[in-house]
Amino acid sequence: MESFKPLALLLLFLLPITTVTGWGVDGHFTTCKIAQGRLTQAAADAVNHLLPEYAEGDLASLCSWADHVKFRYHWSSPLHYIDTPDDLCTYQYNRDCKDEDGTMGRCVAGAIKNYTTQLQDYGKQTSQYNLTEALLFLSHFIGDIHQPLHVGFTTDRGGNTINVHWFTRKAVLHHVWDDSIIETAEERFYNSDVETLIDAIQTNITKEWADQVQIWEKCSRNQITCPNIYATEGINAACNWAYKGVGNDSVLGDDYFLSRLPIVNWRLAQGGVRLAATLNGIFG
Ligand code: ADE
Ligand code: ZN
Ligand code: ZN
């Protein structure tokens, strides 16, 4: 009994952590790596200048920073996702972008707008904002908004309360989309190596998807970033792929994995391309 207590306590601490992350570390690493390869010289210089010294110029190494500060910056937790009305499969900024207290703009789409605006202070003599943190938040949130279940339903908290089996293991649907699909793909197809996965997505971006990529990069006229478009795509993907055919106790195996993996790769690519386009737009 004595030896059980510390373990139980440790699990109590770990459980909430596993239910609230965005894409897992590999998903965020992938979107930031893809983005960094597409920056203009001006944007690359600004990113290098804003990153802390210890990152050694590697944005991807700090792309999960926003998940690590959720407890220090408690206010930032609702900025990682959007909850939409159950089963509607639509997103509207004015209706959905609020936190549980109803404060408007406190969702991942509002956060992307906010940190984009803050970063436009770059190059000014002074700014009231911490632009290093703004860069790390923005880079993370553009990843998160592309995880379909980060624009999910309210009652199940983006699939966080849906218990499934991932092959033979117990899992939570949200976590399947944050981590499991990516990890299983890495193990089966990419030599258990995230860099090999990134290379495969980069090849798609420059070849099969090249025409699409030009469309992803553009958003509405005069807008640097278009989180409302990304969120609408997100809830559509959540309904058409993530939630589809899944309920409590569903067993998700090869059928689900192989049919959803292309969507995950596509969303990771979009996240990376749009993060680059946003940073290029901000830094000129
Ligand atoms: N908490 C509540 N809704 C969530 C979502 N869609 N994603 C992550 N965490 C959440
Ligand atoms: Zn998540
Ligand atoms: Zn997140």
Q: DSSP assignment of 218-275, as one string? A: --STT-S--HHHHHHHHHHHIIIIISTT--TT-EE-HHHHHHHHHHHHHHHHHHHHHH
In a domain, 219, yes or no: yes
Does any ligand 1 atom lie closer than 6 A to the CB of residue 22? Answer: no
Does any ligand 1 atom lie closer than 6 A to the CB of residue 152? Answer: yes
> Can you give the residue range of the structural domain that contains 178?
6-283
Per the structure, how many domains does the chain have? 1
In a domain, 270, yes or no: yes
CATH number at residue 95: 1.10.575.10
Ligand nearest to the CA of 141: 3
Cα 81 to middle of ligand 3, angstroms:
7
Residue closest by Cα to atom 5 of ligand 1: 158
In a domain, 191, yes or no: yes
Cα 149 to middle of ligand 1, angstroms:
7
Q: For residue 158, give the ligand 1 atom closest to its CA.
A: 6
In DSSP terms, which residues pair with 165 in a beta bridge? 170, 251
In a domain, 192, yes or no: yes
Cα 179 to middle of ligand 3, angstroms:
12
- Give dist(CA 228, CA 96) in Å, integer: 11
What pTM was estimated for this model as a whole? 0.92
In a domain, 1, yes or no: no
Does any ligand 1 atom lie closer than 6 A to the CB of residue 78? Answer: no
CA distances from 183 to 29, 68, 137, 186 (A): 13, 20, 24, 5
From first to last of the 284 residues of the chain, give the pLDDT tens digit.
334 344 444 444 444 444 445 789 999 999 999 999 999 999 999 999 999 999 999 999 999 999 999 999 999 999 999 999 999 999 999 999 999 999 999 999 999 999 999 999 999 999 999 999 999 999 999 999 999 999 999 999 999 999 999 999 999 999 999 999 999 999 999 999 999 999 999 999 999 999 999 999 998 888 999 999 999 999 999 999 999 999 999 999 999 999 999 999 999 999 999 999 999 999 98
Residue closest by Cα to atom 10 of ligand 1: 157
